[in-house]
Amino acid sequence: MCRHASWLGAPRTLASLIHEPAHGLLRQSYRPRLQRHGTMNADGFGMGWYDAARAEPVRYRRTIPAWTDANLAGLARTARSGCLLAAVRSASAGMPIEETATAPFTDGPWLFSHNGHVAREAVRELADDAESSCDSAWLAAAVFARRRAGDDLGEALAEVVTRAGLKDPRARLNLLACDGTSIAATAWGDTLFLHLGGHPREGVLVASEPLDDRPGWQAVPDHALVLASPDGVSVRPL
């Protein structure tokens, strides 16, 4: 199991997801509040953000606990973007602990994270190859293949989740992806929350669990797809 979070809106730093909130991802790496499987997320972490000077997102990921990386705080305070994604990892039994198994996964302009677990045989037929043998890498490869084939981000996540879920009824498939201008996420077997600014156009947070105790956090129903863009936020059943 893992925890992840993403922001779309006015530019802000990655520290706004990791260090600044009372229950940001740094704290969730060692004391998550709503995690249903596992008690810590100490098997690595990663973050990605977008820079106007680059065609592809910038990515930083490690296989150590987030609280042990002396460079993370300074980097997170400096990296700023209107679209951010970060994750902390708790590796499922039998899954490798390596950077290639650590979110965010990337392909072209896309960033991807998985919170959950799925039998690898349920996803290996959905992609030709993946950068790691872990289930999350195969889910990422499947989503990226559908994006390259022309599906939009929400369609790609929805198809992968529903097909993998049919193959593995016990799967937990909370996926989170972004492309610099939009976010798509699924709630499938674990918690997912939204927090909007004063108006959806001001920005939206999507996170496994609330990053703080402000009012306004909304729980996403299970088996649902979240789509966020500058035009607003929608939630629909899968």
Residues annotated as catalytic are 2
Beta sheet of 203-207, edge-to-edge order = 58-62, 45-49, 80-89, 2-13, 203-207, 193-196, 218-219
The helix or strand, by DSSP H or E, that contains position 4, with its residue range, turns out to be: strand 2-13
Q: Where are the alpha helices (DSSP H) in the chain?
A: 15-18, 25-30, 72-78, 135-148, 153-167
Nearest-angstrom CA–CA distance, 146 and 154: 10
Q: Where are the alpha helices (DSSP H) in 40-148?
A: 72-78, 135-148
Q: CA-based angle 59:63:65, to the nearest 5?
A: 105
Distances (CA, A) of 159 to 152, 169, 185, 205: 11, 15, 12, 23
Nearest-angstrom CA–CA distance, 68 and 195: 29
Nearest-angstrom CA–CA distance, 38 and 152: 33
Q: Amino acid identity, residue 137?
A: A
